[in-house]
Structures are given as structure tokens and as C-alpha cells.
Amino acid sequence: MSDARERGMKTRRAVLGDAHVDRAEAAKTAFDAPFQDFITEGAWGSVWSRPHFTKRERSIVTLALLAAGGMEDEIAMHVRATANTGATAEDLIETMLHVAVYAGVPRANAAIKVIKRTYAEMEGKP
């Protein structure tokens, strides 16, 4: 295992949790294995493992970018990850206000719906 992959798996597990990573690894096929390796080494082993930002700060930046890009599945995953990164609901409220101003109200509105639904799921509410 390369250093970037090893570092990436450690960070990925710390942020997303063992259960999520175990499911992703179990679902990996020959088709998506190169992609999974790429994100483990590049996103998790390189960017998310850098020392300057905290995991909380990276969560906030990531959620802003995902909201701005309208990537709802990824938003839900990263909202669940806030349980491990320390980003709070208040952080996400402020983040979505920034998204509304800089990426547009419709993008922020769509992301807020996903965030609310994800928080409800995390709390075991329908």
C-alpha cells in the first residue's frame, strides 16, 4: 500500500467512519477500483490529510463547494461526516448563507433540504 493510500484510508475512515468505508470497499468492482484508489490517494491522502485546515474547516469548505455544485448525494455523505469532523449545524447554516450569496439561492435552498433531511435521518426521525 502506498503512503498516500495508507494515509488516505486512515483519513477517510476518520471522516466518513469505518462502516461507510467498509461498505464502499465491499462494493468496489474492477470497473470502479481505479476511481476508488484515485479518491483515496488524491482526495483523502493528499488534500484531506494536509495539516493547515482542521477536519472541521475542511468539512465546511467541502459542503460549500458541494452545495454550489448541486451535488446532493455527496452533500448528504458529508453532512453525516460532520459527526466525526466537528462541523456543527450552526457552521452549516453560515456555510449555506455564503453559498446563497456566492453561488445562488436555489443551490443553497436545495442543499438546505438535503442537510435537514440528513440531520433528521441521523437523529432517527422520519
Residue 28 near residue 9, CB atoms below 8 Å: no
Residue pLDDT tens, the chain, 126 long: 689 999 999 999 999 999 999 999 999 999 999 999 999 999 999 999 999 999 999 999 999 999 999 999 999 999 999 999 999 999 999 999 999 999 999 999 999 999 999 999 999 876
Backbone angles phi, psi at 18, to 5 degrees: -60, -40
Residue 64 shares a structural domain with residue 102: yes
What is the spatial distance between Cα 87 and Cα 36, in angstroms, rounded to a whole number?
A: 25
Q: Do 38 and 59 share a domain, yes or no? A: no
DSSP for 104-121?
Answer: -HHHHHHHHHHHHHHHHH
| Predicted pLDDT at 20 | 94
65 in the same domain as 38 = no
Residues 34 and 59 in one domain: no
Which pLDDT score is estimated for 65? 98
My answer on whether 123 and 70 are in the same domain is: yes
62, 105: one domain: yes
CA atoms within 13 A on the CB side of 113: 9
pLDDT at site 126: 63
56 in Cβ contact with 86 (< 8 Å): yes
Let me know whether 87 and 117 are in one domain.
Answer: yes
Shared domain for 46 and 104, answered yes or no, is no
In this structure, the answer to whether residues 58 and 87 fall within a common structural domain is: yes
The domain spanning residue 77 has which CATH number?
1.20.1290.10
- What does the pLDDT read at residue 96? 98
DSSP 53: S
Are 89 and 104 within one domain? yes
- Contact criterion met (CB below 8 Å) for 119 and 88: no
Domain with 19 in it: 1-52
Q: What is the pLDDT of residue 1?
A: 66
Distance spanning both ends of the chain, measured CA to CA:
41
Same domain, 42 and 65: no
